[in-house]
Structure 1
Amino acid sequence: MATVAQWVEGARPRTLPNAIAPVVAGSGAAASADLFRPVPALLALVVAMGMIIGVNYANDYSDGIRGTDDERVGPMRLVGSRTATPEAVRTAAFVSLGIGALAGIVLLAVSGAWWLLVVGAVCLAGAWFYTGGSSPYGYRGLGEIAVFLFFGPVAVLGTEYTQAGRASGLGIGASVGVGLLSCAVLVANNLRDVPSDTVSGKRTLAVMLGERDTRVLYAALVVIPLGMSLVLSLRAPWALLGLVALVLIAPALRRVLGGARGPALIPVLRDTGLALLVWAIGTAIGLAIVT
């Protein structure tokens, strides 16, 4: 039976910046128009946390029953390591996604944006069918597109809309930066797993592109948001605070372009996630004090 610590590790806490960053950035965009509302922001955070923990457990379950997690380089997987039963992990996924869905319904009730219910349903389907079902889109090189959309425009602009009642140009710019850095986290993870995914038949985008082109893709994904900080600064000068993330991006980029493989890429995953969070916080502060 899995311990509490193993369940926590199975939730993959290093991916939590992907959930926190969109809410922070979207709240900053709302604050730029003096429309920040703490209750919808908190509810949006619960939604995002429930979704990402749920998708992590769902990924653990689906990959585990397919046998694609039998040889792991990264963090432990509950099903693949036989630490927890597939049924228990599947239940954990459903509970997490259910908490996120319930918080989402309350958020829509508070904000009155009931049309977003359709978006929420699509997000739930995207979370499960990433690696679940008979034809998971994560096995067809589409994971990065989904991550960009769900953790970028959908999460950032959804957060802004439920507070401000509209999406702004600043919010769109912030959503692009968050979405790209979220993709970079996934690309770093999949680059590390290219050898094992190739053997198991898991065709991620990294497997399809090959290591060299995946490294180039990673570089683009972490550099473009820095350029977005410059673009946002044309309207909100303090958005340049997002450039502080370069402190974390630089060492991660050196490792990736330097040819690091396997366990040597684990710090890249950590630093990229932290860079995402730092970029979002810096950008949100910059948008909130726009003059």
Structure 2
Amino acid sequence: MAGMTMSTWIRGARLKTLPLAVAPVIIGTALSWKGVFVYSQGGDVLHEPCPFFGGQRDLGETKLGSLVGACHHSVSWFILVAVLCGCVALFLQIAANFANDYSDGVRGTDEGRGADMEPGRSSAETLSTRDPSRGPARLVASGVNPGTVLAAAGISALIACLCGLAVCTLTGYWWFILVGFACLVVGWCYVGGKHPYGYHYLGEVFVFVFFGLVATCGTMFALTGTVSLSGIWGGCAAGFVAVAVLCVNNLRDIESDRNHGKHTWMTALGRSKGAVLAIALLTMAPAMAVLFFLVLCRSVLVAEGVPAMSIVSIAAILIMYAIHAAAIVAIAKERYGTALPLCSLGSLVLAVTFVMSSMLM
């Protein structure tokens, strides 16, 4: 540990993958804001201001005989719960990254990645000389004590659990503990344990469910107490990008995975067909975001004409397509080191597109 630096642990946390954890939370939050508080905290002549923090859901009759002006929860409560949901997703992702590093490291799956890491060499020297086609060097494969990496995973998981307990306290949905426990089990069993599902063609399925539907719909339920069809739609779009990232990662490691008995969709399909699948996923996700925008824009156009926010949404859509197109080109040229961060960035821009579109609601 004497030679360990902060940059080593930052590398182990795999910062390039973290947007995949945050993007579905952003989508779930964007699709929830309008149903949580109906008017500003300032109040008006007929309504008392919403409380600064907390507040109760009030679905009864108001002075105007409608739900206009009803305080469901305050703005501060909404923001805090949304941020905590983001922290849960973020630290669960970091915990899973460290746990995967540990499990693959002790199995020897990552041996080729860390072979060029020599004791005493700085991270900058290592990164400047290593072959990027072999994938980033992992901590355990680079000589870091496996127990230390496992401890880092545990600390990250503990932080996620504390944030999750705060969400349960603020929302009253204590059954979220079961969801959190399921996330921890899924994160560990991806490549950990005696029968890791990531070695038996199930990694892509679980990534879609947990990095797409669970993260998006879970955030939406925490904030509103319900899940809409738009939440499921947004969760599927986020899930497609997450699966595409996993496909690109597995395309890069396809030979190593085959040698170590790790069965993924890419080892089954082969490099060419696997690339087609990854490209298809990266095509469907932005198409879903655009369709969502068009449906909302059409309803607003009928009622109010062309809103200014639609121009901002179109700009976000163009940026989203540019990033996804660049990622698709990189995959086609087998430049996986370039494709991975582009896909990850694409998930964030996808989320921003949903945010901009939700302003039309």
- Do they fold alike, i.e. is TM over 0.5? yes
Q: Residues 184-263 of structure 1: matches in 2 within 5 Å?
A: 184-237=244-297, 238=310, 241-242=316-317, 244-258=319-333, 260=334
**Equivalent residue for 2:354, pick from 280, 283, 286:** 283
CA distance in 1, matches of 2:336, 2:213: 28
In the alignment, does 2:85 pair up with 1:44? yes
Q: Which amino acid aligns with 2:102?
A: Y
CA contact (8 A) 2:289 2:353 kept: no
CA contact (8 A) 1:152 1:179 kept: yes
In the alignment, does 2:200 pair up with 1:140? yes
In the alignment, does 2:139 pair up with 1:78? yes
Structure 2 counterpart of 1:69: 110
Percent identity among equivalent residues? Answer: 38
**Equivalent residue for 1:60, pick from 79, 86, 101:** 101
Structure 2 counterpart of 1:102: 162
CA distance in 2, matches of 1:155, 1:243: 25
TM-score, L = length of structure 2: 0.76
What residue ranges of structure 2 are gaps of 5+ in the alignment? 38-74, 114-133, 298-309
Q: Which amino acid aligns with 1:194?
A: I
CA distance in 2, matches of 1:101, 1:75: 28
Q: Which amino acid aligns with 1:18?
A: L
Superposed CA RMSD in Å reads: 1.5
TM-score, L = length of structure 1: 0.94
CA distance in 2, matches of 1:65, 1:196: 15
CA contact (8 A) 2:212 2:240 kept: yes
Q: Residues 155-166 of structure 1: matches in 2 within 5 Å?
A: 155-166=215-226
Which of 1 and 2 has greater Rg?
A: 2
Aligned length: 285
CA distance in 1, matches of 2:208, 2:232: 13
**Equivalent residue for 2:26, pick from 21, 24, 27:** 24
CA distance in 2, matches of 1:173, 1:75: 33
Q: Residues 2-13 of structure 1: matches in 2 within 5 Å?
A: 2-13=4-15
Relative contact order higher in (CA < 8 Å, ≥ 6 apart): 1
**Equivalent residue for 1:130, pick from 190, 194, 204:** 190
The CA deviation string for residues 134-176 of structure 1, in whole angstroms up to 9 with x for no partner, is 0000011111111111111100011111111111121111111
Runs of 4+ in 1 over 4 A off after TM superposition: none
Structure with higher helix content: 1
CA distance in 2, matches of 1:136, 1:98: 22
CA distance in 1, matches of 2:189, 2:22: 22
